[in-house]
Chain A
Amino acid sequence: MKADELIAKAKNLQVPSPAVVSLLGMLAEEEADNEEIIQVITRDSVISSKILGSCNAAVYGLATPVTSIDQAVLYIGHSEIHRLVMTAAFGGVLNQALPGYAIGEQELWQHSLLTAHVCVIISERTPHGVIDPAIAYTGGLIHDIGKNVISRALTPEFQGTLMELIEQPGHSLLAAERAVLGTDHAEVGACLLRKWRLPELLIEGVAHHHKPASRPNVKLSTLVHVADLIAHQAGNSPGIGSYAAQTDAAAVTALGLEAADLEKLVMDAYDTLAEVAGKRVVS
């Protein structure tokens, strides 16, 4: 398949460590116990040291530096630790400049972080228990990860064709990618996650983030779809064709949201921007 071909050609993609893969597996199966999660993280020395580095960065303003994951959890809490693990695991891929899309360094990263935050905001407001906030955060964070691979295939010539296509009325970026390369960033992202053995739940969220299946019930893609659109309106909207995205009204209704809620969400998302902007990738 075309997506696998492009992935095979993409060199130097930072692969998530086994600890990250098993952590996400545990979360998806909902059998994760906080103790176990800490153990998994602690066993991965690279991730652990990145987490400690992030915790001790100025954003958290801790009086004394933390030296263990246990301590870090005490100070900043489980969900924040989860976020740090995910940003450490995927930041290296997401913060790169993507010249194929005319996306600058850090630009996709800021959009990804904001989408992740909005996923959590929406998941907390939708009927309880639908989607775990940690999974919601991760889905939002990595939804556009396929753009890293697609960007490499977008030569100046292909980029030109892509731009001509999206200038035609009603033509989406996704359809244009498909026309030019035979695949799109959602499909490539999903293939990448499958290759990395990440849980089906996340793969679904990425695969369908531009065309969510919200019936019979809300899925991760439903949430990511709406959060992505909100994030484009509340933060930066980097790169070619960022608004050439089809909206799915059924996804909005499935989440129990109305037009007025969407504007409020844009405002709430805007409020998290300052927080998001402080988060750099710790390498």
Chain B
Amino acid sequence: MSITLTPPPNHRWVAPTPKKNLIVGMGDMLASNDVSSQLVTYSLGSCVGITIYDPVAKVGGLLHAMLPDSAINLDRAAARPYMFVDTGLPAMFHAAYALGGAKARLVIKFCGGAQFLDDKKIFRIGERNVEAVMGMLARNGVRLAASETGGHASRTVRLDLANGNVTLEIPGKQSYLL
């Protein structure tokens, strides 16, 4: 059987209402269950972006961490846990649980950690950030649904809170789904 959709008389096509952007700054995190919004973080370079999403509770979180290890400055970590991977990741998971997210349902995606052309390996922040995330997820038995790390481009990340879609944008390119 086929269905033909006939627009009602005087029908006007309406563009979908634009999503509200909830912007996540550097060294910051947001968790939300507002399905009319998307979480956005701009131009991740060596920083890392981790998104989590519970498709049943429709709860999501986005972390934009800058450095791998809070040991470099514990006071800063206490004041701003989201600057660091090791303190930011657990804090994001807890924020999602507080909104009704369940660990078993969380879909986790990961991007960022760009690197310079750095043969002598003097700026290893991007690489160390990626290692820190992978290590921490592995230790906690958490599986990644998708990831795109490394490379020499900065990435803008969007998490749609209605459906958990993660979109990446690289300067000069069309955006694409992760």
Seen from chain A, the residues whose Cβ lies within 8 Å of a Cβ on chain B are 101-103, 159, 163, 166, 170, 172, 229, 232-247, 249, 252, 259-260, 262-264, 266-267, 270, 273
Contact = CB atoms under 8 A, between A and B. Distances in A.
A247 B120 contact: yes
B116 A247 contact: yes
Majority DSSP secondary structure for residues of B touching A: loop
A172 B26 CA distance: 26
13 contacts: A103-B171, A163-B172, A232-B45, A233-B123, A233-B125, A237-B114, A238-B171, A240-B172, A244-B116, A249-B120, A263-B72, A264-B72, A266-B125
B117 interface: yes
A170 B26 contact: no
Given A266-B66, A270-B83, A243 B154 contact: yes
A273 B64 CA distance: 15
Contacts of A102: 171-172
Contact of A267 (B47, B72, B124, B154): B72
Contacts of B26: 234-235, 270, 273
Nearest to B73: A267
A187 B34 CA distance: 49
B115 A243 contact: yes
B153 interface: yes
Nearest to B115: A243
Contacts of B125: 233, 262-263, 266
Can you list the 7 inter-chain pairs with the closest CB atoms, starting with the nearest?
A237-B45, A102-B171, A249-B120, A243-B152, A244-B152, A243-B114, A102-B172
Given A159-B172, A232-B45, A233-B123, A242 B72 contact: no
A259 B118 CA distance: 13
Given A243-B154, A273-B26, A233 B122 contact: no
Given A172-B117, A252-B122, A266 B67 contact: yes
Given A244-B117, A263-B72, A270-B83, A236 B42 contact: yes
Interface string B111-145: 00011111110111110000000000000000000
